[in-house]
Amino acid sequence: MNPVFLRLGPLEIRYYGLMYALSFIIGLKLAKISAKEKNISEEFIEKYVMNAIIAGLIGGRLYYVIFNYKYYFKYPLEIPAVWHGGMAIHGAIIFGFLWSIVFAKLHKVNFWIFTDIASPLLILGQAIGRFGNFMNGEIHGVPTFTPLRIIFSIKPKFYEWYNYYNSLSLSEQMNYKEIVPWGIVFPNNSPAGMEFPNTAVHPAMLYELVLNFLAFLSLWFFFKKKNYKPGVLTGIYIIEYSLIRIFVSFFRAEDLMFFDFRAPHVISFILIIFATILIITKSKKIK
C-alpha cells in the first residue's frame, strides 16, 4: 500500500484526498437527483451540500482534537494539519446535522428534508473514504491472532494480552492455539505498521467499507423508495451506521476512548436511542 496516488514534481495527489474529491463529485450528483424528486432547485442543493461538507470537515477535526486534547495542547500548530490524519466521523455527523438546522432556519424550510437527502450520500462517502484509509494504513484493526474474547474486551485488556504474546518464544508464537487465519500486513511506515510491525492485522477499514456500501444500497434503493415522512430516513441512517460502527470498533486498534469505554460505542448507543425516538415521533405525525 502507498498513500500517494500520483507525483507530479513537488505536487502529490494522495488517495485520501482523492477519495474525498470522488465522494464530493458522486455525492453532489446523487444529491441533485434527490433534489429533483423533491422539487428543489439544483442551485439551492449545491449551496446546501457545499456548506454541509465544510461543517462536516470542521466538526470531524474538532471532535478528534477534543478527544486528543493532551497532544494538541502540547502541539497547537498541529490542530489545522489535517493532512497528518485525525478526522472523526461522529464529529462530522454532529456538525453537519447542526449546520442543517441553521441552514433550514435561514431559508425557512424543513431541515429534515435536507438530512434525508444527505444521509445515503454521507454513508456512501464514508465507504469511499475508507479506501483512502486503507492506502494510508490507518483505521486498522488489532492483530488477527487475537482471540475474540480479547478483541471484545476494552483496549487496555488487549495490550495486556499482546504484551504476553510478545514475551513468548518464536516457536511458542507459531504454535499458539488461538491464531486467526486472515489479515493484512501493512508497511512499517504506516500507522498500522508502526503499531504492529510485520504483523497481520484485521483490515477494519475494509470491514467498514463493505458494510457502509451495503447500508448505502439499502438506503438508496429500498428505504428511499418508501416515501417516509421527513426525518425517518435520517433516523434509519443513524441506526444503520451506529450498528456498523459498534461492530467494527470491536476490531479497531486506535479507537478514541471515553474513560474505560470506546468513544464510538458510547456515542453510537446515544445516537441509536435518539434515532429510534426520531423515527417513532415522525411516523406518528401527519404529512
Is 61 marked within a binding site?
no
Task: Decide: 167 and 152 in contact? Cβ < 8 Å.
Answer: no
Q: Grid coordinates in use for 144?
A: 488477527
| Angle at which helices 89-107 and 111-136 cross, to 10° | 150
Asked whether 285 and 229 are in contact (CB, 8 A), the reply is yes
Which amino acid appears at position 100 of this protein? S
Can you say which residues are annotated as belonging to the binding site?
Answer: 130
